[in-house]
Amino acid sequence: MSAPEATPAGQRPGITLRCRPADVVELAAVRDRVQVLKALARRRGLQLPDLGHVVANASTLVLGVRPERWLLITPPEAPGTAADTWQSACVGCGIAVDLSSALTALEVAGPEVRALLARGCRLDLDPGAFPSGLAAATIMAQVPVILAALTAGVLLLTPASTARHFREWLSAAAQPFGLLPDGDATVAPVSADALT
């Protein structure tokens, strides 16, 4: 059922909204070298998914929302470390650009999450049409958003400069569903258990 209607607001919050501090590296294949890059990633224990998909490999979530480019999302480390590691590993077949500061990761979850996202997202997020394991780039609240359906909820990546605007919009839209305020206590790093 698409954009399910909200169940009456009860004690249980319909939406939880969490900040997901994470490092983000964009891995792009050099022209005609995508198979080499995929093989290299495989040797390093990373499956680079097809376009429109997200996969979890150990502690890395990998999203494919642009042709021959992947976003690697990992728990935060010292600035630039993840990108540098990949950059030196994939010389000749790919480039790795650090986008840890460029993208802000949020995770929304809860029984009403699809009803919430239907307030801004034009994509069909019905579990039948957009099951866990799919990812897409779209626009919500007039700003670019990359979203990935995880088992636990939906991961949203939005440009850092519009992250506050997006989050304010998301929080306002979530109010009627019952929003769990996300104190620091609920902040957890991204990990592979997000996608099973």
Binding site for other proteins (CB under 8 A): 1-3, 5-6, 8-9, 26, 28, 30-31, 79-80, 95, 97-103, 118-124, 126, 128-129, 141-143, 159-162, 164-166, 168-169, 172-173, 175-176
- Looking at the Cβ atoms of 34 and 180, the one nearer to other proteins is 34
Nearest distance, CB of residue 161 and other proteins, angstroms: 4
**Residue among 178, 45, 151, 27 at smallest CA distance from 97:** 27
Bridge partners (DSSP) of residue 152 are: none
- Looking at the Cβ atoms of 1 and 185, the one nearer to other proteins is 1
Identity of the amino acid at 58: A
Report the C-alpha gap between 71 and 50 in whole angstroms.
12
Burial of 85 (0-12, 13-18, 19+ CB in 10 A): middle
**Residue among 163, 141, 165, 145 at smallest CA distance from 154:** 145
Nearest distance, CB of residue 89 and other proteins, angstroms: 15
Nearest distance, CB of residue 54 and other proteins, angstroms: 20
Helices assigned H by DSSP within the chain: 34-43, 81-89, 113-117, 163-174
Provide the token pair at 169. Answer: 């919009």
Nearest distance, CB of residue 7 and other proteins, angstroms: 11
Nearest distance, CB of residue 29 and other proteins, angstroms: 8
- Looking at the Cβ atoms of 98 and 107, the one nearer to other proteins is 98
Provide the token pair at 156. Answer: 């949203």
- Looking at the Cβ atoms of 118 and 135, the one nearer to other proteins is 118
- Looking at the Cβ atoms of 28 and 89, the one nearer to other proteins is 28
